Chain A
């Protein structure tokens, strides 16, 4: 069964460092998302991406964040200068098309900023 894959599963980084979280969405899916979940808290929307551009972003997704689909396969989330409060699970999700509402999530990347 096709699945969304995320790498790495766990990343530890020093405060102020840049990190790139990688996602490979399901191959025929067109809509891509990043969500964040601080430990024990709710899943928070960060950004949605369609047709090679951001379609919507939340207030969490500030200038420190960026997304890219560099090669038609990967979908990346970059945090330029990590802060301690960026420590969280980051989930990538994809949806096939506008008419299909079932989002498939990856297993997540646990980011720890020290």
Chain B
């Protein structure tokens, strides 16, 4: 199936540190998306990637769509306390559905 493997499962970092998380799959995706979920809220889109090799930034966030179209990473630079939450990758193939990774739970210590 269209399984996404996201790692790490959780991260505990100090404020100011950089963070990196990634997703891999055995399937090829045409779109990679990164979402953040705050407690009790729905996922909110952070970055969308549409082309293999694409590198996109959104403030302190940078994400890349892997050349093989089977992976993507998300970096957060200079983390701050409000970065706390669960980050999900999601991939879409040639249909209308998204498949989500299991999430990376980020904790930022002041």
Contact = CB atoms under 8 A, between A and B. Distances in A.
A103 B95 contact: no
B44 to A, nearest CB: 7
A95 B96 contact: yes
A41 B105 CA distance: 10
A41 B102 contact: yes
Contacts of A55: 95-96
Q: What's the interface size class on B, roughly?
A: 20 to 34
Contact of A102 (B37, B45, B101): B45
Interface centre among A43, A45, A110 (most CB of B within 10 A): A43
A43 B45 contact: no
A105 B42 contact: yes
B8 to A, nearest CB: 14
Q: Is the interface of A mostly helix, strand, loop or mixed?
A: strand
A44 B97 CA distance: 11
B33 interface: yes
29 contacts: A4-B42, A33-B97, A33-B98, A35-B100, A41-B102, A42-B88, A42-B101, A42-B103, A43-B100, A44-B100, A45-B97, A45-B98, A45-B99, A55-B96, A56-B95, A56-B97, A91-B42, A91-B43, A93-B42, A95-B96, A101-B31, A101-B33, A102-B33, A102-B48, A105-B35, A105-B42, A105-B44, A107-B41, A108-B41
Interface of A: 4, 31, 33, 35, 41-45, 48, 50, 55-56, 91, 93, 95, 98, 101-108, 110
Given A42-B103, A44-B100, 12 more contacts: A35-B100, A42-B100, A43-B43, A45-B97, A45-B100, A48-B95, A56-B96, A101-B33, A102-B48, A105-B35, A107-B42, A108-B42
